[in-house]
Structure 1
């Protein structure tokens, strides 16, 4: 059975505002441990460490060309996919999903039609600090994240107060449901058991959508035994166990169909799995490149050199974009509302009132 090895980086649980880890992502590689060990020997013949770790290797400029060459080999000869998301943007998307969309749903408006939720979240992420005011904008996001975690009256009331403290009248379409109306349908959605701001489900959903296309038949996933990956492991097992036949169109080029081809998931010690170590290299380089491009960090590999290694189908990113026409075209006819409702029922919560 074909096996994809995965590794993640940037996981901070419910806290998507962590200043030290702006991006989160994961990589999946369809490679055997034997081939992975051979590639490591070819590209790093003098390595003495018991485990290949991207963070340690990238600190030394002498390793940079070898790391780029290794990734070039992987992306050229093996089935690979890497996913990266801007966690502040993802948090705003969740804000739109739970603190805005239910208000429109109650009024018979499909807020997800043609990616309107992505357009609003992008606009708020990129311009909200300016026209809603800082630090009020940041306080509102922090209050939203806290309210989703706690789901009690105090934090919910604090969220409404934080929304009202912004210049919300400059954008009532997005902030008005909370600030003007304290919309009970929005507060109820935020308080729904199982609803959270954890990005693991979003990351896995994107990885799986590509692995399902790349795999010719049933396949398995192996990942490291780290504490962070326990959340991924549990979600993967729930995906495997879900046997209802259904398919959702996500974007112009992706869909998700159950039951999955994914048949097994296992935890392994990365020290004994060269393939998992290569997944660490892939996601480590991608996260580092994202931080450098965003101006948050410096050093390591040239981010442009890293990004040009990828073909379009090998890299998935969730970042804000104000090219609204392109977003509309890309997400036209998608089943975002149906998918969110389906996941709410089957994976982390309960259905919204109809």
Structure 2
């Protein structure tokens, strides 16, 4: 029999990843069935006197009795929960690589993913942003506006608002690279419009659901996915439709530098239910809210305890910064910095970004062994 898996989110702000009120987005899943979920939810509501006849994680986290109920839920479904947790500003930095850099070398993108260049760009821009590097905030704001409006007329001058005498070299190179490769970026924007996903291009719901389903696909040969109502999911189900009644073994990809599942088998199309009547969705809602609470309230006793519980649940689909990706004493990071410099130089000279790039990466890799930029 197909395994029923329920999904819900917390911290949703759609395409607005710079929202100051919601730093994290969590998408949670629970593998259970209607009977088990109903029995547990009703007992929990009765035990803790929860009002409204429904578990709502955003309300439970606000009072002590509610947090006790959450703790009991996490313990009950330990091993049956998986959560995707994303830091939104870092997720926006990842999107910037996806829509500004990757289209410019898409013909040889495996070279760049293979050395972790996407992680370097995302993390270095995130560090610039959180450290309030001059111009970084303007780049993020302009990029988000570009994707949300798809206004191609400003591409040749994109990120101009970030121009400042105190710009770091990274900010300067990112701005100039984007302006010089405006045509590549324009093509990417047009493809988003053609596929109909442009409106939700920055939203994290689709990617979180997909990676969670791919995880569950390694455990269950057939899945029924039940989701809370979601505009991004309901308006863009194409990739999920291709997984319905999919035969054959599960497939994996090494493109992003580690082996990840990229297929799963849905017994039927995505099912959308109201959380009021779906007990499984209520459980997923509470788990998602607990994840957001745990990562937002760093000094809270419950948050600290929940982080230890939720962290092992949150590998697949999570988008969290990694300071090791910008540690300049690491030769791998030094290589990525040199690759950015080379891409910027080629863009200025109007040269191909991919011709001979594999050989260039090999040369600097060997060179950095004997002559590192920083010891």
| 1:307 aligned onto 2:336 | no
Per-residue CA deviation, residues 251-289 of structure 1 (Å, 9 max, x unaligned), is 5352213xx312222112211121111111100100111
Distance 1:155 1:17, change over 3 A: farther
In the alignment, is the contact (CA less than 8 A) between 2:3 and 2:223 conserved in 1? yes
TM-score, normalised via structure 2 length: 0.73
Greater strand fraction, Structure 1 or Structure 2: 1
Q: Distance in 1 between matches of 2:40 and 2:285?
A: 14
Q: How does 1:37-56 map to 2 (within 5 A)?
A: 37-44=38-45, 45=47, 46-56=49-59
In the alignment, is the contact (CA less than 8 A) between 1:103 and 1:183 conserved in 2? no
Per-residue CA deviation, residues 286-321 of structure 1 (Å, 9 max, x unaligned), is 01112113xxxx86x721111222463554431111
Q: Shift of residue 65 of structure 1? A: 2.4
In the alignment, is the contact (CA less than 8 A) between 2:85 and 2:314 conserved in 1? no
Q: Distance in 2 between matches of 1:238 and 1:184?
A: 27
* Equivalent position to 1:213, from 215, 218, 225: 218
Give the equivalent residue in structure 1 for 2:70: 67
Name the Cα RMSD after superposition: 3.3
Unpaired runs of at least 5, structure 1: 330-353
In the alignment, is the contact (CA less than 8 A) between 2:227 and 2:272 conserved in 1? yes
Q: Distance in 2 between matches of 1:313 and 1:62?
A: 24
Q: Distance in 2 between matches of 1:68 and 1:292?
A: 16
* SS of aligned partner of 2:112: coil
Larger deviation, residues 52-61 vs 281-290: 52-61
Q: Distance in 2 between matches of 1:287 and 1:213?
A: 26
Give the equivalent residue in structure 2 for 1:344: none
Q: Distance in 2 between matches of 1:98 and 1:222?
A: 30
Unpaired runs of at least 5, structure 2: 333-354, 356-375
Q: Distance in 1 between matches of 2:21 and 2:129?
A: 21
Q: Distance in 2 between matches of 1:248 and 1:107?
A: 16
| 1:320 aligned onto 2:318 | no
* SS of aligned partner of 1:323: helix
* SS of aligned partner of 1:59: coil
Q: Shift of residue 325 of structure 1? A: 9.1
* SS of aligned partner of 2:116: helix
Give the equivalent residue in structure 2 for 1:349: none
Per-residue CA deviation, residues 162-189 of structure 1 (Å, 9 max, x unaligned), is 354585561255343025x354323433
| 1:142 aligned onto 2:141 | yes
Give the equivalent residue in structure 2 for 1:25: 26
Give the equivalent residue in structure 2 for 1:185: 184
Per-residue CA deviation, residues 232-268 of structure 1 (Å, 9 max, x unaligned), is 24445641335698642355352213xx312222112
Give the equivalent residue in structure 1 for 2:261: 255
* SS of aligned partner of 2:224: strand
In the alignment, is the contact (CA less than 8 A) between 1:119 and 1:322 conserved in 2? no
* SS of aligned partner of 2:148: helix
TM-score, normalised via structure 1 length: 0.77
Give the equivalent residue in structure 2 for 1:92: 93
